[in-house]
Structure 1
Amino acid sequence: MLAPDLLAQLAPTATDPRPVLLALAGPTAVGKTALSVALAQQLGTEILSADSRQFFRELSIGTAKPTAEEMQGVPHHFIDSHSITQDYSAGRFAADALGVLGELFRCLPVVVLTGGSGLYLQALTDGLDELPAVDPAVRQGLQHELQTLGLPALVAELAATDPVAHQRVDLQNHQRVVRALEITRGTGRPFSSFHTGPVAAAATAAARPFRVVKVALNRQREVLYDRINQRVEAMLSAGLVAEVEGLVSYRHHQALQTVGYQEIFGYLDGSYDYAEAVRLLQRNTRHYAKRQLTWLRRDAGYQWVDLK
């Protein structure tokens, strides 16, 4: 549970009587689900999920989607809300979530937002940068290069043309890399130059009809990595391979171009054996957790809590 001083921040103040959105973030396997449910029960409130893959009904095991037992009767919004056949972006999530919050805050003084997808959390709490329109031919050319040259070639170009974006973008997510290069090539300016920064983010947050309290969870690295390895084993025991087999026809969708699915696709393709798939899955999940922590540390608004 959160310390009393953090919980005290959820109460309205004389200078800011707005309701509060408690944003509970952290790396995969840190324990966000259990804590968010416990807090929601304590506060008598509901939960919004900001996990970019738990939206999709077809994905469960590989996304560590909370079970009905884990939810313990607490209403969760934006879990199983969409089909993988639907495109769903951070911007659309923020717009939809603002609508849901408008309804919830009519009777609830606090709502819990939780998830490990930093961009989706940011979209709701701070808004997103406005990016210019680019000729679709630029993206088409990049998609062709992705297929013919591979992702490493595009990552190398990003490193050369926009070192700042190279440090920030998830380099294993081909859509994020393509998007950054699309803006850079299409405008002649680095993708990172369009980031408005903390001043604009603060202005957007201040304009929200609610106040945001940001909390980032972490654990000692060895403990977190052990939890990750155990989660991978649990996913496999729960039938991850069978789940991925049933998703082969959807493998081109962005939600499946991620850790937890790509490693199993490689195994099903015969690129390596089962033991190597497990090793890659555990390693890549650890790397993903490190990237999540790096993203969160960029935002000075988060208050960090070390879980035991």
Structure 2
Amino acid sequence: MSRQPFALLVAGPTASGKSALALGLAGHLGGAIINADSMQIYAGLEVLTAQPSAQEQARAPHRLYGVRDPAEAASVAWWRGQALAELASARAAGRLPILCGGTGLYFRSLTEGIAPVPEIPPHAREEARALLAEKGPAALHALLAAADPETAARLRPSDSQRLARAFEVWRGTGRGLASWQREPGTGPARLGGVPWRFAALRLDPPRDALRAAIRQRWEAMLRAGAVEEVRALVARRLDPALPAMRAHGVPELSALLAGRLTPEQAGERACLVTGQYTKRQATWFRHQPLAAPSETHTIHARVAGMEQFSERERGEIFSFVRSRVDGGGEGA
């Protein structure tokens, strides 16, 4: 390995096969997989968030899966700190760090850094959540627009999670999030003062393949116990504004358990919402690349495993990764 630390990013929309690709690479290249998905960090939602199974986790080291209680919202800053520690640990163990997920902001917190937003007081966070629950995201967007129009202009009125975050930052610091983001931030990830190098494998499968995969995954989740997971989560009576309570499938199965939706309605709604989300994810990754074009290899297929690729295609993928592992830096 070169002296400059290197990590591989495996990114793409939900149900595109990121985990299968990362696992195949980890097995062939001696990798450690680090979760970069904002929902897969939560414990108790292993089935519904499609976390790697125990058998899959036994095939290669997996980190930051199911490590956060759903009652505790995880910030990008928290995840970045955890990911930096896992990157360093993988490097020290002589393993290739493979960051795998669909949360663009997580990846960007490493490749570009994050703004120096102070710790938000609990009262500001509680007020933001209360307003969101009482008035809804559109009304919260209007309140934010009056207080912090610059940040509000960047957010969709339906994006409840980011609206709540923006409102709590303004309420807790007296400054808007956009204003904080203009301040010098942490900068790209570093190890002992040396910046990490990143290359990316980006999955961008056809829409019809994703829609079919989402439907198949939903049916598999139901067979594997997704309803029981949501039943246990609902029993905790957590704040509905918490990120885990809005994980794909949680609102729909909560409504099913409450008798407000039939199983067919819950499935249709969950698959529709997930499909809409994957479209936004794919657009984000296309227009906000995680690495330079020369450091990005795009796969236009849904990945079920490395065995689906032809010998030539596997060779291209492994050649791309190996050349980046060995390239750059000051030599071995």
TM-score with structure 2 setting the length: 0.75
Q: Tell me the percent identity.
A: 34
In the aligned structure 2, how far is the partner of 1:135 from the partner of 1:184? Answer: 11
Structure 1's 69 and 300: CA in aligned 2 closer, same or farther, altered over 3 A? Answer: same
Query: Which fold has the larger relative contact order, with Cα–Cα distance below 8 Å and residues 6 or more apart in sequence?
Result: 2
Q: How does 1:181-196 map to 2 (within 5 A)?
A: 181-184=167-170, 190-196=176-182
Q: 2:5 aligns with which of 10, 15, 19?
A: 19
1:307 aligns with 2:266: no
| 1:227 paired residue number | 213
Q: Find the aligned partners of 1:80 and 1:138 in 2 and give their Cα distance.
A: 27
Question: How far is the alpha carbon of 1:138 from its aligned partner?
Answer: 4.8
CA distance in 2, matches of 1:164, 1:226: 36
Note closer, same or farther for the CA distance 1:167–1:70 as it changes in structure 2 (3 Å cut). farther
The counterpart of 1:77, out of the listed 38, 59, 63, is 63
Which residue in 2 is equivalent to 1:204?
Answer: 188
| Residue matched to 2:251 | 262
1:29 partner SS:
coil
CA distances 1:268-302 after superposition (whole Å, capped 9, x unpaired): 22222221111110011012212322333443334
> Equivalent residue for 2:283?
294
Give the 3 Å change call, closer, same or farther, for CA 159–295 of structure 1 in structure 2: farther
Aligned position for 1:29? 15
Aligned residues: 291
Q: 1:61 aligns with which of 47, 72, 75?
A: 47
Aligned to 1:8: none
Establish whether residue 142 from structure 1 lines up as the match of residue 165 from structure 2. Answer: no
1:305 corresponds to which letter in structure 2?
T
**Residue equivalent to 2:274:** 285
Q: Is the 8 A contact 2:102 2:281 kept in 1?
A: yes
1:71-119 deviation per Cα after TM superposition (whole angstroms, max 9, x unaligned): 4611111123343345533212221222222222124263111011222
Q: Distance in 2 between matches of 1:215 and 1:162?
A: 36
1:169-206 residue CA offsets vs partner (Å, 9 max, x unmatched): 6944x342112123345667653343349x968x4246
User: CA–CA distance in 2 between the matches of 1:133 and 1:200?
Assistant: 15
Gapped regions of structure 1 (runs ≥ 5) = 1-10
Of stretches 241-250 and 36-45 in structure 1, the one that deviates more from structure 2 is 241-250
Contact in 2 for aligned 1:216/1:305 (Cα 8 Å):
yes
In 2, Cα distance between equivalents of 1:293 and 1:125 = 18
For structure 2, the residue ranges without an aligned partner over 5 or more in a row are 302-332
Instruction: Say if 1:170 and 1:176, in contact at 8 Å, map to a contact too.
Output: no
One-letter amino acid of the structure 2 residue matched with residue 204 of structure 1: P
What's the CA shift string for 1:9-68, capped at 9, x where partnerless? xx74xxxx4121101111100010110011111211211112223223311111011113
- Cα root mean square deviation, aligned: 3.0
1:110 and 2:100 are equivalent in the alignment: no
Pair 138,283 (structure 1): closer, same or farther in 2 beyond 3 Å: same
The whole-number CA distance in structure 1 between the counterparts of 2:64 and 2:200 is 19
3-state SS of 1:56 partner: coil
| CA distance, structure 2, for counterparts of residue 218 and residue 230 of structure 1 | 18
Counterpart position of 2:304: none
CA distance in structure 2 between the partners assigned to 1:143 and 1:122 by the alignment: 26
Q: Residues 86 and 141 from structure 1, CA distance in 2 versus in 1: closer, same or farther, beyond 3 angstroms?
A: closer
Report what 1:271 is aligned to.
260
